[in-house]
Structures are given as C-alpha cells and as structure tokens.
A and B are shown apart, each in its own frame.
Chain A
C-alpha cells in the first residue's frame, strides 16, 4: 500500500530494506554460524534498522506497541499496513 506522504513512504521503505537484510543474514547465519564477516554485516544492518525504526516511531507513532513510549493519546490503532475499508464496493453498499 503506497502512502500519500512521500517522505514517510521513503522512510518506511528504507526500514524495510534494512529489516530485510537482517532477515536474510539471520537465515544465512543459522546454517553458517561461524562466518565472522556476515556476523559483522548482520550487526551493521540490525543497528541501522533499530536506529531508523526509533526515528520513524518518534514522528509516526509506535510500530511495536509495548516497548514504545506512548504520549497521552493511544495511537497504536493507527497506521496498520493494511486497510480493506474500500476493498469491495459491493460490501460497502447498503442496497441489496
């Protein structure tokens, strides 16, 4: 789902890239636990992903509810990555 907010979409995609690199190095390291070079890269990707997610959360609210500080307003219900509100015009019409 593309967001209308271009800056936010770019940030989200950057986070996706680093998170993906973390997933990929994790799977590789599961079967190659002694590959020091990849452990270094994994650590770099993991640190970058953490930094970027913290930065994103400061502006756009929690991505991971329980460990983030919430302001007075409870904004966890906002910004889920799916929205089927408009998915099927037929479902949304009241006429039968």
Chain B
C-alpha cells in the first residue's frame, strides 16, 4: 500500500505565470514519456519479477515517479496562476480550460490523452528492464527539450533536478539488468559432466 506525505520531493519554484511552458510541461504529466506512464509501467511490471532486487527497484522507482507526477502538477499550477481568459485563448489553452479547468490532466503537449498502449510490460525481467532503460532515456531527452524551450531559470532548476533523476534511474535499471543477466548465465547444474 501507499501512504501520502504532505511534502514535495524537491521544492518547486518558477518565475510565475507562463502559459506556453505550462502547456509544454504537461507532457511530463500525461505524455507518452511522462511521469504517469513511468510510474504505471514500473508498478505493474514488478509483480511477476522473480528477482528480489528488481522487485524492490521497480517498487521504489515507481513510487518516486508518483512524487514527480505531483511536482509536475505543482509546476503547472504555478505557471497558470492568475491566467486571464484572453491569455488562455492566446496560449491555445482555452479548449483545455473548458475540459479541465485549472487542473493538470493526463495529456501531451498537443492535448492527446494518455494511453497505456505507450507503456510495455511483458512479464520478462530482461525485456522489461530494456523497456525501462529506454523509457528513462526518453524522459531525460524530453526534460532537456523542455529546458531548451524555457527561459524561466527557476523552472529550469526544478526541471534539471527531474532530468537528473532519469539519469540515476537509467543507471539503476542497467545495474538490475546486469544482476538478472548474471543470474541466468550462472551454471546451476549440481554435478559436473
């Protein structure tokens, strides 16, 4: 089970209203390589993993991703704070506002809703870990693209933290893959021919 803590993983700061970037960061909320997909992917892959280390890692990283999802929500809230009708229309967020008001929703930058078809869980530890390493890379480059599009230094500081987490997760998944590979390459015969 999970328990909620009333604390963000890392302080979210922005320089205030910025509807253009609000629309862009939504992809890390509900885009194909965003935090929702990451969390859902790892938390459902973990059930049939026969390796203790990998089961622990998928649970811990899947949980951390939920914390990142919350951070993206708070970023979105800060970037839309005080937006007027005209500003929403100018930023192309009027349709979004009609559907979701001030809340973040699980969509990408162009408004397409999240679909679990973008995540993979094949019930094989090695296959899934390759998927996870690819996912971390895709999330990392998405953060880098967001940072390049943003002129808000405070927002960038927060995005740089989140980007860094993708790098660390990639490393840990790589180590987990090595552990699984070692396990399957070990000779488990009880006698020598």
Contact = CB atoms under 8 A, between A and B. Distances in A.
B17 to A, nearest CB: 10
Interface core residue of A64, A81, A86 (most chain B CB under 10 Å): A81
B64 interface: yes
A19 B9 contact: yes
A90 B8 CA distance: 27
B57 A30 contact: yes
Given A12-B7, A30-B56, A88 B176 contact: no
Nearest to A64: B5
Tier of interface size on chain A: 20 to 34
Contact of B61 (A27, A33, A86): A27
A33 B60 CA distance: 14
Contact of A16 (B7, B57, B77, B88): B7
Contacts of A2: 11, 13
Contacts of A86: 81-82
B78 A1 contact: yes
28 contacts: A1-B12, A1-B74, A13-B11, A16-B7, A16-B8, A19-B7, A20-B9, A23-B9, A24-B168, A27-B168, A27-B172, A30-B57, A30-B172, A31-B57, A31-B175, A64-B5, A79-B6, A81-B6, A81-B7, A82-B73, A82-B77, A84-B102, A88-B81, A88-B88, A88-B97, A89-B82, A89-B84, A91-B102
